[in-house]
Amino acid sequence: MAIAQLTADKRRDMGAAAMRTYPNIIRDWGLPEQDAAVLLGLADSTYRRWRKDPESARFDVNHLERMSLIMGIYKALQLLLPRTDAADSWLQRPNSNPLFGGRPPIERLRQGQVSDLYVVRQHLDAARGGGHA
């Protein structure tokens, strides 16, 4: 079933589950709460409220898409870089790939665009196919 076809109840259940997991990813990546909100396309206050009470999270299609991309990035990093410290710090290390122009990938993600999440996810997926992240 496509994300857009999910019922409101299913999106609520998925949102609550995501908000129980997402803060752990953000902690592993060493990102501040403000970045966590930006990556999900949320206001800081909404992110804080949802983090404190995951059951209150009301994910729409955009939030679910973002969460899917973020979890894919997290998983790809864990597979590509089996040392936890290397996987968790990848977003914050300068990257010579032209996609990042020598800057850390998190700087691109801080722009808050879904398209940037896609670019990073595709880059990592391509690296899993035989390239290097």
Position 5 scores a pLDDT of: 66
Position 2 scores a pLDDT of: 62
* Structure confidence by residue, pLDDT tens digits, 79-88: 999 899 999 9
pTM: 0.89
Position 36 scores a pLDDT of: 96
Contact 124, 76 (CB under 8 A): yes
Q: In percent, how much of the chain has pLDDT > 90?
A: 75
Q: What is the mean pLDDT of residues 74-93?
A: 95
DSSP conformation letters of 37-59: HHHHT--HHHHHHHHH-GGG---
* Structure confidence by residue, pLDDT tens digits, 3-30: 666 777 887 888 889 999 999 999 999 9
Question: How remote is the C-alpha of 14 from its chain's centroid?
Answer: 15
Question: How remote is the C-alpha of 92 from its chain's centroid?
Answer: 14
Position 3 scores a pLDDT of: 60
Could you tell me which residues come within 8 angstroms of residue 80 by beta carbon, excluding any fewer than 6 positions away? 87, 124, 127, 128, 133
Q: Please, what is the end-to-end C-alpha distance for the chain in angstroms?
A: 31
What burial class does residue 95 get, using C-beta atoms within 10 Å of its C-beta: 0-12 exposed, 13-18 middle, 19+ buried?
Answer: buried
The answer on pLDDT for 123 being more than 70 is yes
Amino acid at 14: M
